[in-house]
Amino acid sequence: MASAFLSSFRREMRFLRHSVWDLGLVTWIPLLLMSVIAWQMSPAVLRDLPIAVVDLDGTGIGRALVNRLEAAPGLTVVATPRDFAQAEVLARARRVFAIVLIPADASADLARKGQATVVSYYNMSYYTPGTAAQREIAATVRDYAETLSREQTAATRGVKAVRTAPVAAQTTVLFNPQGSYEIQLVSLLHPAILHLIFMVCVVGALGRELRDGTIGEWLGAQTAGRAAAVAGKIAPYLLIFMLWAAVALLYIGTRGWPVAGSAAVILVGYLALYLAHAGLALLLVGLTQAMAQSLSLTGLYAGSSFAFSGAIFPIQSASWFGRLWSSILPYSEYAKLQAEQMVMGTDAAWSLRHVAIMLLFFGIGSAIGLPRYLRAATRPAVWGRR
Statement: residue 251 has pLDDT above 70: yes
Q: Could you give the CA distance from residue 251 to residue 342 in angstroms, rounded to a whole number?
A: 13
Angle at 255 between CA 252 and CA 256, to 5 degrees: 100
Q: How far is CA 23 from CA 17, 34, 201, 238, in A?
A: 7, 17, 10, 14
pLDDT in tens, 213-243: 999 888 876 666 889 999 999 999 999 999 9
Domain at 49-161: CATH architecture: 3-Layer(aba) Sandwich (3.40)
- What is the percent of the chain with per-residue pLDDT over 90, rounded to a whole number? 55
Classify residue 126 by its DSSP letter. Answer: S
Can you give the pTM of this predicted structure? 0.82
For 106-143, letters b (16+ CB in 10 Å) and e give bbeebeeeeebebebbbbeeeeebbbbbbebbeebbee
Radius of gyration of the chain (CA): 28
Q: Which residues contact 227 (CB under 8 A, 6 or more apart)?
A: 370, 374
Interatomic CA distance for residues 274 and 34, integer angstroms:
17
Better-predicted residue by pLDDT, 384 or 355:
355
Q: What is the pLDDT of residue 177?
A: 67
Distance between CA atoms of 226 and 372, rounded to whole angstroms?
A: 12
Q: Which residues lie across from 119 on neighbouring strands?
A: 101
Check residue 160 and give its pLDDT: 66
Closest by CA position to 116, among listed 90, 86, 141: 141
Q: What is the pLDDT of residues 262-305, one digit of tens each?
A: 999 999 999 999 999 999 999 999 999 999 999 999 999 999 99
Report whether 207 contacts 22 (CB < 8 A): no
Contacts of residue 272, defined as CB under 8 A and 6 or more positions apart, other chains included, come to: 330, 334, 354, 355, 358, 359, 362
Contact (Cβ atoms closer than 8 angstroms) between residue 29 and residue 254: no
H/E stretch holding 23 reads: helix 20-26
**N- to C-terminal Cα separation, the chain:** 30
**Predicted pLDDT at 124:** 85
Give the pLDDT confidence score for residue 286 in this predicted structure.
Answer: 95
In this predicted structure, what is the pLDDT of residue 258?
A: 83
Give the 3-state secondary structure of residue 337. helix
Task: Render pLDDT for 99-146 as a digit per residue (tens, 0 to 9).
Answer: 999 888 887 887 777 778 889 999 888 877 888 888 889 989 888 888
pLDDT tens digits, one per residue of 43-80 = 767 788 899 999 988 888 788 888 899 888 888 999 99
Query: Which pLDDT belongs to residue 228?
Result: 94
Distance (Å, whole) CA 298 – CA 369:
14
pLDDT, mean over the chain: 88
Q: pLDDT tens across 195-208, in order? A: 999 999 999 999 99
| The total number of residues written for the chain in this structure | 386
State pLDDT tens for residues 143-188: 888 887 777 777 777 766 666 666 666 767 677 766 677 888 898 9
The pLDDT, as a whole number, for residue 61 is 79
The confidence score (pLDDT) of residue 380 equals 86
Domain parsing of the chain, residue ranges: 1-42+180-382, 49-161
- pLDDT value for 112: 79
